[in-house]
Structure 1
Amino acid sequence: MPADIPADLKYTRDHEWVLLQGKTARVGITNYAQRQLGDIVFVELPKEKDKFDRGQPFGTVESVKSVSELYAPLSGTVAAVNQDLNEAPEDINGDPYGDGWMIELTLTSADELKDLLTAAEYEGYLKEE
């Protein structure tokens, strides 16, 4: 498995990653996504307690190249928002799987987890793109 696709995470075809911690899912964008975007200069994230359905846009990430929507990988309620990204959106470029996390969702349906990709499946998906 490449180092830029951590094996302990789950992935979406929209290039978000998910770290499951009980009924909470920490969400961010993948290393592949941040490389495609280039230097990230601004992030718009939801507020705590906002609710999202899987696939619904929850925010945007703006780079020197473009503005891209972020999509909820799972349905849930926002439990935490990485406020540090307001001051340092470049953390997404520097550490997309660590300091660059975006939100934490309290999940409403564990059934949706089966639709996420494993690291190996995500790697295969990237090769198809």
Structure 2
Amino acid sequence: MSKVIKVTYGDNILSDLFESVTNIKRDIGSGWNNNTQAKKEGVDVITSSRGPRNISFDYLIKGTFFSEINANKQRLASYINSEDTLGLVFEDEPNKVWYALPDGEQSFSTENKSGTLTFIVPEG
């Protein structure tokens, strides 16, 4: 039996619902937003700020039968249902907490029991 990287969101252990967690994307820093004004040579930077950070990962949900898969999908949906930022923690960086919200469409394919979860970290 292979070990699944532990992923928690708030008080819920998301990885308990997964057979695997792969392709964790925690890019270097967040995007920069620069407001500039053209001048004869180059630009003047009017404002500069950092945008939000996006974190996503792919998963394979546990379950052999449709009833098990659907129960785990519903449990996962309830685990990530939040209007407030909650701590998102990955086992490989246990001392780093990302205060995040689910963002965009949360994909899932019934054919191969896999999906992608995407979160936004408003503070970057």
TM-score (norm. length: structure 2) = 0.36
Larger Rg: 2
